[in-house]
A and B are shown apart, each in its own frame.
Chain A
Amino acid sequence: MEAGSAKIMSGALEKEKSVAQKPDTVLVKAAINGNADSFTELCRRYYPAMVAIAHSILGDRHLAEDAAQQAFAKAALKLPQLKKESRFAGWLAVICRNIAKDMARNVGAGLRVCPTDDLSMIAAESRDDDTAETVREAISKLSASARELIFLRYYDGMSYEQISAVLGISEQAINGRLRRAKKKMADYLRRNGFGEV
């Protein structure tokens, strides 16, 4: 009995492993044809990135997770409308961004979800409150796209390749934008008594 269940478990793990190794295009095609495992794998693959995008807009981790899940729900419905399978990540990011913006508009007044407020919560958890406070201020001074990039890069340590897939821009462009964003932050921190950063 135990041996049987172990066999089933190992079979499921094998299946999961094989799905995880497949490229996006294969998974998207399978998901369009109603393969739930492929869609789940895509969700698993892009969940941190979607949460990071939503977090950069909503400024709240829990709301960001809700937005990411909602984005997957919408993607499940609209998947056949996707024109190019290779652009799934970018397409999903657009959905997530729009949902997060809608959520920010709808709940903004009650929850005060502007990034500055939420980042202060993050700062409270950090070791040095003052430092984190100034860093979050520096992040909040960035443009929406630069903030999104910073979140993608530092939220889960995403590689340039992964960010490139999500944002649909080259790795060189990501490098340039990140440099500019970090320079702006460094300037802000320097002006606010951080010395050399």
Chain B
Amino acid sequence: MNKQRNEKRLDELISRTINTEKPRFDAEKWKQKYPDEFQTLLSRTSKGASYHQLNIGRIISKSPITKLAAAAAVIIVAISFFVIHQGSPEQADTTTFSKTTKSPVEMMTAMSLERAFRRGGIEAVEKQCKEAFKPIGPRPGSLSVEQILAEFNGDGKSSERTKL
């Protein structure tokens, strides 16, 4: 009882010391005092909607789900970018490899060698031959390209064929 009375007395004392006339906001005076700020506030009428639409950062940061989704999207984009840029030369290499690497028999057909000759002359034919013989080891020094061609055209001797 005494405690309550004391509290009430303290409340009265504080109120009497602090309590002044209730401050009232005068909007018109404020507008006159801060015209620039008020104009800035009004100027957002048209911008306001688009401001919120464009503020993606705020939308993302609003909930943890959108944060996670945004992070996942960034990771996916980063990975796909990496794959496209890093993977493309490899892919190109593999495709060219698959296009160029044929079996030695295919590489040594008359048509294939003719194509190589048209492309780069005798040097291209030599190169193709080297490529064709790579799987079976180095070409014997005694054999010339002409001999090989003759062999493939069916003019070669059987002994030379065995050497190959």
Given contacts A34-B45, A36-B38, A43-B30, contact A154 B14 (CB under 8 A): yes
Residue-by-residue, is B32-71 near A (CB-CB < 8 Å gives 1, otherwise 0)?
0110011011111111110110000010010000000000
Stretch at the interface among A5-13, A118-126, A164-172: A118-126
Given contacts A48-B22, A80-B51, contact A123 B42 (CB under 8 A): no
Residues of chain A within 8 A of B10, CB atoms compared: 182, 185-186, 189, 197
Interface residue SS majority, chain B: helix
Residues of chain B within 8 A of A35, CB atoms compared: 45
| Minimal Cβ-Cβ distance residue in B for A72 | B30
Residues of chain A within 8 A of B13, CB atoms compared: 131, 135, 189, 197
- Check: A92 CB closer than 8 A to any chain B CB: no
13 new A-B contacts, CB < 8 A, other than A34-B44, A131-B16, A189-B10, are A32-B48, A33-B44, A33-B48, A34-B42, A34-B45, A36-B42, A39-B41, A79-B41, A122-B17, A122-B18, A131-B13, A151-B18, A197-B6
Q: Are B17 and A126 in contact (CB under 8 A)?
A: yes
Residues of chain B within 8 A of A43, CB atoms compared: 25, 27, 30
- Check: B96 CB closer than 8 A to any chain A CB: no
Q: How far is the CB of B64 from chain A (nearest CB, A)?
A: 15
Residues of A within 8 A of B (CB): 31-36, 39-40, 43-44, 47-48, 51, 61, 65, 68-69, 72-74, 76-77, 79-80, 83, 119, 122-123, 126-128, 131-132, 135-136, 139, 150-151, 154-157, 182, 185-186, 189, 196-197
